[in-house]
Amino acid sequence: MERLKSHEITKLLDILIGKVEAVGETNVDERRLDNLKTLIDVTNWCLDGLQFAMVSGRGRGEASIHMINYTAQSALDEYKTWLNELLEE
């Protein structure tokens, strides 16, 4: 089975999760709140995967393991910077 590319996965998630932006209409916003909760669950799953990838390579000398650790750590560092900037606004 052929694996989906990143852009295909994000498009699929967009379709599966739906819109999360509030519009000020109770019926619509209730559904969007449910969508937001789903998005949060999916985000937590993704962040758990990054954390596991980072920890699995900690202290290991093999180049392939180090690269997985480094890549996950770099992504988490970028998210940390972005979140700090976002929350300071």
d(CA 64, CA 48): 20
Tally of residues, the chain:
89
Round the CA-based radius of gyration of the chain to a whole number and report it. 17
Chain segment 3-46, per-residue pLDDT in tens: 999 999 999 999 999 999 999 999 999 999 999 999 999 999 99
Domain ranges across the chain: 6-88
- Residue 36: how many CB atoms within 10 A of its CB? 17
Chain segment 49-77, per-residue pLDDT in tens: 999 999 998 888 889 999 999 999 999 99
pTM: 0.86
- 16 to each of 10, 20, 27, 42, how far by Cα in Å? 10, 12, 19, 11
